[in-house]
A and B are shown apart, each in its own frame.
Chain A
Amino acid sequence: MKKALSLVLALVMVFALVACGGSSESTKAPAEQSSETTTAPATTDASGAQVFKLGGTGPLTGGAAIYGMAVKNAAELAVNEINALGGDVQFELNFQDDAHDAEKAVNAYNTLKDWGMQISLGSVTSTPCVATSAETYADRIFAITPSGSSTSVIEGKDNQFQMCFTDPNQGSASAQYIHDKALASKVAVIWKNDDVYSKGIYDTFMAAAPGLGLEVVSDTTFADGSDTDFSVQIADAQAKGAELVFLPMYYTPASLIFAQAKAAGYSPIWFGVDGMDGILTLEGFDTSLAEGVMLLTPFNADSDDQMTKNFVKSYQEKYGDIPNQFAADAYDCVYAYKQALENAKCTADMSAEDICTAMIAQFTSMTFDGLTGEGMTWGTDGAVTKSPKGMIIQNGAYVGLD
């Protein structure tokens, strides 16, 4: 019995190794060449344009898949557009699944390294992005993440950049916004106490609130596994008379909160952050529940801006959904890369390390106009400067507040 087992497992392993071999042969960068320093071989297509290898990881399966898919689709869209235009800078995109797990993200990153990745989109969600950013930093591969918003992603790493706001930024910006628009004075917060994203925003919101005259009357939490029944949290906020409930969380628990609050006859102002973006495309969600929900996000799919209109149109044609903020950030990342690579006159035969040096110089000095903001700039710490937009959900669509 033991022999049979060993035999079968040996076969599985042989198959696995053959599979590895097969995949690395099919690409142009064999594993042997991408040693520690990651020197990718020259790649130019038939017309002589420069083809850069762009990699990224995100959750394409599991609970956070909607974000990973949005980023993947939008990056694909941008890459296809750029390649169709046939400029000097062309991309080849390889996007790998990390299932919102740091360990799998590092595995996915190593697969990308074998493939010969020269520039990276980091990871989509915060925890995996912290793990992969340490790898890209050690390997000197430049990365700009569309949505890995935790500060640990960029902290102490000169070649890690963000297209989105950092979590702390969102917390204090939300408090500021609520104060500026005089939305409420009594505020309740429901947050997820085992989530980096939620905790980061909560901390800065709580730090900023007292100084802005916001009184936090109810502060309740939930965690993985206890995220289906919110009656206690809602009852607490209701009993203490909160006029506004701040929800720094992803949209799945938020959708349940809306439904349960409605059942409890409680209708405060709901205020979310960028994780709330995507709630309208959640399958089986009654969009009328989200009526009047406010959220702070840098992207507005209903904007009259020509660039946004084109993006929303082609995204919808190809993938059937209205793109969310994650998609817009990813789209911007690819175009920012295009601009930076063109400015720096990078060629695809440059090593990842040389491109990294050039990209750091470009990103810290250039100004970029994209879907998620005009005149975006980056500091040497890798954080982006752009202004958030307040949005409200009306008749099942996001509408800009300003």
Chain B
Amino acid sequence: MNKLNLSKASRRSFMTYAVVIIAFIVLQSLAAAGAMSSMLKGLLVPICAYVVMAISLNLTVGILGELSLGHAGFMSVGAFMGVTTAVSLQNVVASKELRLIAALLVGALFAAVVGFLVGIPVLRLNGDYLAIVTLAFGEIIKSIFNNLYLGLDSHGLHVSLLNNTLNLDEGVKPIIGGPMGIGGIQKIANFATGFALIMVCLIIIFNLVNSRAGRAIMAIRDNRIAAESVGIPITKYKMMAFVTSAAMAGAAGALFALNFSTIVANKFDFNTSILVLVFVVLGGLGNMMGSIVAAAALTVLPEALRQFADFRMLVYAIVLILVMLIRNNPTIRTFTAQLRRGRKGGAKS
């Protein structure tokens, strides 16, 4: 690798691409060979969705340096809009794959628009204030989807709030049914698309981070006043990172929703936002590879612990605490730092 004369940053991103591709090939061939349990097979798409959620939140929290507690809100927007698209196209587009891609794009688009609208007031704030406002935003989105009715019939799209006053044609059921959410979704999400989505998101993030804009964003994170003083337009770059992050979360939401036959707004609550934040913190702020591994591991873990029955969630919590402690243990940190230095020295000689 050193011979290729790549920068440290590109080496790191290529490592991440390589790991994701290898993981995909291994898992896909295991699934094809029938050597994979139904449990793990059922988790593949949710893992992809959570991985995208984690890396997109890492862009906001790790790269931009703003704590967002409403990331599940964007996922929710993407999920509902994505599924609505997929259902609307059901009789128009025959190909499942095309419908899925359209759903992901529409989900991402709507989430980006919402991200932009939310960003206008929110990004004027900093730190704790921003965290609380994003938290409130997540709750607002949940409330809206709990009261939104949307249906499609021969007269086009009908939308109503609070009460079901859609007046749809006889026999046509609403797509979004308020608190009922969306039911009877065709499960068109698949692992390959999930993998492709992760790759696309990684490419976008790495290219953004290693660009002029990315350096500006990180400058804002490291010292806002200094960045402002050298003429970096704070709001513009903050908005850039925030909207990119929201769009990815929207695509992840669409992918997630299309893997289940039913989706309700309450799924994307505060707890989901925190769960994704846990992935990011565990994986390391600004560390995409870490986020990916953490998201995958922490999605599989509670399922793998089912044999502990009643103690399952207790064991899960203990494992989480232990991993956090080990990750921050100074001895282990020094040890790995030495290990890395030693290896580098070896490579040079």
Given A23-B307, A114-B38, A13:B179 Cβ within 8 A: no
Chain B interface main SS type: helix
- When the two chains form their complex, are residues B42 and A110 in contact, meaning their CB atoms are under 8 A apart? yes
In the bound complex, CA of A367 to CA of B66 (Å): 62
**What is the CB-to-nearest-CB distance from A75 to chain B, in angstroms, rounded to a whole number?**
15
Does residue A35 face the partner (Cβ distance < 8 Å to B)?
yes
CB distance from B35 to the nearest CB of A (A): 7
Cα(A10)–Cα(B283), bound, Å: 12
Q: In the complex the two chains form, is A193's CB within 8 Å of B46's CB? A: no
Chain A residues, CB < 8 A from B265: 194
Task: Report the bound CA distance from A293 to B287 in whole Å.
Answer: 57
- Stretch from B87-95, B110-118, B330-338 at the A interface: B330-338
Partner of A127, one of B34, B142, B143, B264: B264
Measured in the bound complex, the distance between the Cα atoms of B264 and A61 in whole Å is 20
1/0 per residue B13-46: CB within 8 Å of A? 0000000000000000000001111111111001
Does A274 make an interface contact (CB < 8 A)? no
Given that A1-B336, A223-B143 are known contacts, is A134 also in contact with B261, CB under 8 Å in the complex?
yes
1/0 per residue, CB under 8 A from B, across A112-150: the answer is 011000000000000100110111000000000000001
B293 touches A130 (CB 8 A): no
CA gap between A3 and B304 in the complex, in Å = 24
CB of B38 within 8 A of CB of A2, answer: no
Distance of A223 Cα from B142 Cα, bound (Å): 11
Residue contact A8 to B327, C-beta cutoff 8 Å? yes
A99 CB to closest chain B CB, in angstroms? 8
* A76 CA to B180 CA, complexed, in Å: 31
A97-117 vs B, Cβ < 8 Å mask (1 yes, 0 no): 100011110111111011000
B312 and A97 contacting across the interface, CB-CB below 8 Å? yes
Q: Is the CB of B300 within 8 A of A13?
A: yes
Main secondary structure of the interface of A (DSSP, over half): helix
**From residue A146, how far is it (CB to closest CB) to chain B in Å?**
19
The size class of the interface chain B forms with chain A is: 35 or more
Q: Hey, what's the 0/1 contact readout for B172-209 against A, CB within 8 Å counting as 1?
A: 00000011110110010000000000000000000000
Q: How far is the CA of A192 from the CA of B297 in the complex (A)?
A: 35
Inter-chain contact A114/B289, CB cutoff 8 Å: no
| Complex Cα–Cα for A24 and B181 (A) | 35
Partner of B179, one of A8, A96, A194, A225: A194
Residues of chain A within 8 A (CB-CB) of B146 are 193-194, 223
Partner of A107, one of B36, B42, B313, B340: B42
CA distance A224 to B143 in the complex (A): 9
Interchain CB contact under 8 A, A4 and B327: yes
Q: B225 at interface (Cβ–Cβ under 8 A)?
A: no
A20 to B178, CA, bound (A): 38
Contacts of B153 in A (CB 8 A): none
The answer to whether B37 and A5 touch across the interface, beta carbons within 8 angstroms, is: no
Taking CB atoms, residues of chain B closer than 8 Å to A34 are 38
Q: What 0/1 readout, one digit per residue, does chain A (66-107) give for beta carbons within 8 Å of chain B?
A: 000000000000000000000000000000110001111011
Chain B residues 210-267 with CB under 8 Å of chain A are 260-267
Instruction: Chain B residues near A194: list those with CB within 8 A.
Output: 142, 146, 179, 264-266
Q: Which B residues lie within 8 Å of A224 (CB)?
A: 266, 269
Chain B CB within 8 A of A12 CB: yes
* B319 interface neighbour in A12, A24, A101, A111, Cβ under 8 Å: A12
CB distance from B154 to the nearest CB of A (A): 22
Q: Which of B41, B180, B294, B304 contacts A16 (CB 8 A)?
A: B304
Instruction: Check B333–A4 contact: CB distance below 8 A.
Output: yes
With beta carbons under 8 angstroms apart, the residue of A2, A9, A114 that contacts B297 is A9
Q: Please give, as numbers and ranges, the residues of chain B lying within 8 Å of A23 by CB-CB distance.
A: 306-307
Residues of the B chain whose Cβ atoms lie less than 8 Å from the Cβ of A101: 267
A128 nearest in chain B by CB position: B262
Q: A9 and B42 in contact (CB under 8 A), knowing A16-B304, A134-B261?
A: no
- Inside 8 A of A110's CB, which chain B residues have their CB? 37-39, 41-43
- B270-312: which have CB < 8 Å to A? 283-284, 287, 289-290, 293-294, 296-297, 300-307, 310, 312
Confirm or deny: B339 has a beta carbon within 8 angstroms of a beta carbon on chain A.
Answer: yes
Give chain A residues whose Cβ lies under 8 Å from the Cβ of B307. Answer: 19, 22-23, 26
Assembled-state Cα–Cα distance A108/B309 (Å):
12
Task: Decide yes or no whether A31 CB sits under 8 A from chain B.
Answer: yes
Tell me the complex Cα distance, A130–B293, Å: 31
Q: Write the residues of chain B forming the contact surface with A, with a CB cutoff of 8 angstroms.
A: 34-43, 46, 139, 142-143, 146-147, 178-181, 183-184, 187, 260-267, 269, 283-284, 287, 289-290, 293-294, 296-297, 300-307, 310, 312-313, 319, 323, 326-327, 332-333, 335-337, 339-340
10 interchain residue pairs of minimum CB distance: A134-B261, A31-B37, A110-B42, A16-B304, A4-B336, A194-B146, A110-B38, A113-B38, A130-B262, A110-B39
